[in-house]
Amino acid sequence: MSFPFIFRAGALALACASTASASYVILDDFSGPNFFENFYFNTTLDPTHGFVEYIGAGNPLLNSLAYYDPTTDTAIMRVDDNKTYTPGVDTGRPSIRAQTINTYQYGLFILDLAHMPGNACGSWPAFWTTSMDHWPEQGEIDIIENVNLAAQSEQTLHTGPVFPGDVCEVVGNVNTNPGQETGTQISYNCMWNATTSDYGTQTQYSGQGCSAANNNPNNFGTNFNAVQGGVYAMEWNDEIIQIWSWENGYAPADIANGTPDPLSWGNPIFTTWGGNCDIARHFIDQTVVFDTTFCGDWGNAAWATSGCYSEQYPTCSDYVGANPGVYSETYWAVRSLKVYQFSNAAASSSTTA
């Protein structure tokens, strides 16, 4: 594997490839009272068409929805759980979409959470990376994501064709790769509008991407919070993307020690290994994102079968607008987000603006 480039605040760091003394070294550590100095609040309309209003600087709600909590040493990102909102009149329930100022090309991303949004009808929380300028051609990596009352997170890639006939598919545990993932592969074609795949099941819905369900204990929502959170890790280089998770207290010791070694972690939940996808071509200039939207394309589509539908609330937006109190647990509490780059002590390195 090679790990050629990491973008950081406009600078390009080149780590030369070699096998001697190769390891991950810290690039960015987002934690503590300065957490939000490394993020900006995106206030554009939700691209998934959710019943949500992303707020930012100048909004009087900002300081109550995004702040550092010194009692828990965590960065908090909440949604409004006080007011009702009317579909067709209001934009939606206020929420936070925080994005890193830095843009990355490859790295190891390790998120230590004390709390993620708990399960709630209409809620769609996500921790992910994407290209802000060229979606889907430059890719999206969904590390934590699901909707409504789902008990498991899903890990998903979305790509777009770089040229006509381009493909990006994963194999999961099928064919010659049994047991390489601990997750359950749901769909195999990562192209954003694909409905068929050469691997696994032959049909999927347009917009699904290639997705795996996380089978690890207490990995999402209310169950995750009941064990005081946990750790997610995503490794991305020019040959592979893979994702792991651990509930609180079970992450490998090398993560806490600041010397993460993915080769020692065992099989990931999700991996692109063995598939048919040029990672270097399909995943470029990724920004890290935390958000919680409501309803949206996925949440609306799943509303009828979510266990949330009722005659009183025939649409997801009706429910979200009328029930602020159910979202008191809809918040992220981040202990740290650390980004590592691959380095080699035996090789020289250079930086180019």
Listing DSSP states for 179-225 in one string gives: TS-SSEE---B-BTT----SSSSS---TT--EEEE--STT-SHHHHH
Residue 5 clears pLDDT 70, i.e. is over it:
no
Q: Phi and psi (nearest 5°) for 300?
A: -65, -45
pLDDT value of position 22: 63
Q: What is the mean pLDDT of residues 334-339?
A: 98
Q: How far apart are CA 252 and CA 246, in angstroms?
A: 9
Q: Are 335 and 229 in contact (CB under 8 A)?
A: yes
Q: What class, spelled out in words, does domain 26-317+330-343 have in CATH?
A: mainly beta
The C-alpha angle with vertex 179 and arms to 178 and 183, in degrees rounded to 5, equals 120
pLDDT value of position 9: 40
Residue 350 clears pLDDT 90, i.e. is over it:
no
User: What is the set of active-site residues?
Assistant: 140, 145
Q: What is the mean pLDDT of residues 132-150?
A: 96
Residue 131 clears pLDDT 80, i.e. is over it:
yes
Residue 346 clears pLDDT 70, i.e. is over it:
no
pLDDT value of position 176: 61
The per-residue pLDDT for range 36-92, each reduced to its tens digit, is 999 999 999 999 999 999 999 999 999 999 999 999 999 999 999 999 999 999 999
| DSSP single-letter state for residue 269 | S
pLDDT value of position 232: 98
Kindly report the number of other CB atoms within 10 A of residue 318's CB atom.
18
Q: What is the mean pLDDT of residues 276-301?
A: 97
The model's pTM is: 0.92
Q: What is the mean pLDDT of residues 122-132?
A: 97
Residue 348 clears pLDDT 80, i.e. is over it:
no
Please give the biggest Cα pair distance in the chain. Answer: 66
Q: How far apart are CA 237 and CA 156, in angstroms?
A: 16
